[in-house]
Chains A and B, each alone.
Chain A
Amino acid sequence: EDQVTQSPEALRLQEGESSSLNCSYTVSGLRGLFWYRQDPGKGPEFLFTLYSAGEEKEKERLKATLTKKESFLHITAPKPEDSATYLCAVQARSGGSNYKLTFGKGTLLTVNP
């Protein structure tokens, strides 16, 4: 069974204080790892897809990296508007036509001004 564990559950930062969120996963062959941002009461919003170990993607203050066992979402010099819940999800290569994603429980990030 595919499993995704995100840590920490919650993270509080001061504006400008860089940090990283972790997503560790167990999957029988990784087809893709996905990062989403979710604001309160809204649907998750797509950030990145990573497909193979060593891959990196960047968007503004966010950078996602991938190894064979985990992914990190690095946040550089965060601003209050980066406050949100960040979700990680994996898609297994096995399973034929089954493309469903398995999600972690998320990390609630709060950035104080």
Chain B
Amino acid sequence: DADVTQTPRNRITKTGKRIMLECSQTKGHDRMYWYRQDPGLGLRLIYYSFDVKDINKGEISDGYSVSRQAQAKFSLSLESAIPNQTALYFCAIQGTGYGYTFGSGTRLTVV
């Protein structure tokens, strides 16, 4: 199994729909992150969590919410999707060496 698994890999949804992106890990790390990546803008932090009870907003949290259901699971929700949320979304975990391990990403298209 991969260290970080993201589902779905690809998703097309309509404007106004609620959608959830899921992330699970097998490494037992406490720190988990959600980023979005857009051409020309790089990776931008949406939310991060240091443990189940510690969730923090990143630089672009508006329009998003998260849930840390367990140490291994960290979900990102778009309450009412809009076209400018079309992007590649990555979940990452962080161990004691401070570097991230990324998932394979979810390509989200909002039409």
Contacts and interface: CB of A to CB of B under 8 A. Distances in A.
Interface of A: 31-32, 34, 41-46, 49, 87, 89, 91, 97, 99-101, 103-106
Interface of chain B: mostly helix, strand, loop or mixed: strand
Given A43-B90, A103-B43, 7 more contacts: A32-B98, A41-B107, A43-B103, A44-B90, A44-B102, A45-B102, A106-B42
Give the 7 A-B residue pairs with the shortest CB-CB distance, closest first: A43-B102, A105-B42, A103-B43, A44-B102, A43-B104, A43-B105, A32-B98
B55 to A, nearest CB: 13
Contacts, number: 49
Interface in B67-111: 88, 90, 92, 94, 97-105, 107
A87 B108 CA distance: 22
Interface residues of B, number: 25
Contacts of A87: 42-43
A100 B94 CA distance: 9
A44 B99 CA distance: 11
B100 A101 contact: yes
B105 A46 contact: no
A80 B23 CA distance: 32
A49 B99 contact: yes
A100 B45 contact: yes
Contacts of B42: 87, 103-106
A101 B92 CA distance: 11
B103 A34 contact: no
Contacts of B48: 100
Nearest to A46: B99
Nearest to A32: B98
Nearest to A1: B59
B105 to A, nearest CB: 5
